[in-house]
């Protein structure tokens, strides 16, 4: 008898793309936000190298950009002392032509196993993954989320309000408060 296996969803061990020439690589400890700001509107890729990228505050994604990781080994996580809630938000209300791919967004307060085991008590760490909100209907367009894990959030894993032409491909949203809105 033949067996069918489920196709693994989310980030994979290695990236699933060929990086275009001119990509900007950001090592853990370097500023992803500075690289995104420099690349805004260019269509360039900002690639977060494998490792844990502790974000001092929410990343604000500008239009016309790709934010990529190097697979499961690229983890974006808000600093446990940050007062922000989401790891990634839109920088402008009319966000256009963005891709987020091949990375992990970890919303737990720590990376050790069961870091969020008390997350539903005492309003501890109301963290989320990606939240894009527009001020108008169809205010955002051409948004693609591919091979991304968003995990362990007490708030939304992924929330996108007001988009048109959105693609969500091979993603894994697990252990989030409102897994996907």
pLDDT score of 154 more than 60: yes
Whole-model pTM? 0.86
pLDDT tens digits, 71-129: 999 999 999 888 888 999 999 989 999 999 999 999 887 665 544 444 444 445 678 89
Give the mean pLDDT of 17-21. Answer: 94
Is 144 in contact with 172 (CB distance < 8 Å)? no
Identify which of 87, 81, 154 has the alpha carbon closest to the alpha carbon of residue 118: 154
Is 55 in contact with 32 (CB distance < 8 Å)? yes
Give the CB-side neighbour count of residue 106, counting CA atoms within 13 A. 22
Distance in angstroms (rounded) separating the CA atoms of residues 85 and 144: 22
Give the mean pLDDT of 28-53. Answer: 96
């Amino acid at each position: 008898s033949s067996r069918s296996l489920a196709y693994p969803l989310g980030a994979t061990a290695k990236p699933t793309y060929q990086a275009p020439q001119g990509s900007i690589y950001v090592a853990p400890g370097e500023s992803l936000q500075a690289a995104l700001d420099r690349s805004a509107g260019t269509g360039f890729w900002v690639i977060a190298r494998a490792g844990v990228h502790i974000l001092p505050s929410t990343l604000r994604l500008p239009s016309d950009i790709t934010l990529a990781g190097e697979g499961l080994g690229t983890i974006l996580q808000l600093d446990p002392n940050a007062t922000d809630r989401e790891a990634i938000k839109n920088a402008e209300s009319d966000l256009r032509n963005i891709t987020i791919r091949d990375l992990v967004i970890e919303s737990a307060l720590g990376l050790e196993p069961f870091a969020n085991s008390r997350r539903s008590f005492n309003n501890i760490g109301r963290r989320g993954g990606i939240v894009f909100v527009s001020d108008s209907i169809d205010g955002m367009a051409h948004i693609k989320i591919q091979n991304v894990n968003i995990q362990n959030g007490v708030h939304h894993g992924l929330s996108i309000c007001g988009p048109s032409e959105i693609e969500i491909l091979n993603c894994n949203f697990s252990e989030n408060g409102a897994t996907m809105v």
